[in-house]
Amino acid sequence: MQAHRFVHTITMICLIGGGIGMVGCQTNPYTGRSQLLMTSVGQEVQMGAQAYNQVRSDPKMRPSQDPREIEPVKRVAARIVEAAKRSKYAEMAQQFQWEVTVIKDDKTANAFALPGGKMAVYTGIFPMAKTEAGLAAVMGHEVVHALARHGAERMSQGQVANIGMQVVGAAIGISSKNPMIGQAAMAALGAGAQVGVLLPFSRKHESEADYIGILLAADAGYDPRESVALWERMGQMSGGGGQSEFLSTHPSHDTRIEQLKEWMPEAMAIYQNRASMPAAPLPEVGR
């Protein structure tokens, strides 16, 4: 119930936000979901550039020098970006200054795309992606996070959650006669907001990125069915479904696979009308 009221508050802010000049809302062009955004695209791009520079300047970060690792990543990234420029995010995708770095870290299975178009792929993702088509599913997913402004939305939700808890704290009163009761109540409200509101929105972001990501991969000429194989390998390598879905910012592997299969007919319809790219194997790492 608490989470429902909080979401209702966010919805009301979206309805009146245009009039108060402090917040804005947009609708995801693929899913129709309303998003509360309290930062501008320019601010997000600036933060993305700063984060990217921090990653690249980290003395522990080692860019790959191996063309066998760099070339497939750049090839997939270029095709995903071109698909993004044809997508419903075309206007933003055309404004971003896209760049990708391959990080030589065989133990880190990760990739990211930041607002503004700065991307990185860690070589540790290669065994899970297996092929360029699998990598396209990964990169399509990450590019959607940037284009759909998911990071800015999470920050905005956190700001609203903090404001909401301050208001509730004032309403219930942190009594000087019994301060422990007030502190316990605020702690409970904090946990309630985190589990009931912020994490579920993060799971929505992940599912949204999965869905739109396979559409981008398909439009780029990569077989979207590789996304299912990717997450099956993810599940096997993580030893199962991982932590409880309720307390996770990501859907469980099983949920993810089920959703991908539901969306597959739409993605396949796109893929079948594109010149398909070969599912070239990625180089082996860690040896």
Query: Known catalytic residues?
Result: 142
What is the rounded distance in angstroms from the CA atom of residue 8 to the CA atom of residue 255? 26
Q: Which tokens go with 217? A: 């991969």
The sign of the dihedral angle between the CA atoms of 37, 204, 200, 110 is negative
DSSP class of 277:
P
Q: Which tokens go with 109? A: 């299975």
Tell me which H or E stretch contains 18.
helix 2-20
What is the rounded distance in angstroms from the CA atom of residue 154 to the CA atom of residue 194? 11
The sign of the dihedral angle between the CA atoms of 152, 157, 159, 160 is positive
Phi/psi region, residue 221 (left: phi>0; alpha: psi -120 to 50; beta: rest), is left
Q: Is the Cβ–Cβ distance between 147 and 84 less than 8 Å?
A: yes
What is the rounded distance in angstroms from the CA atom of residue 105 to the CA atom of residue 182? 47
DSSP class of 197:
I
Q: Which tokens go with 192? A: 């309630």
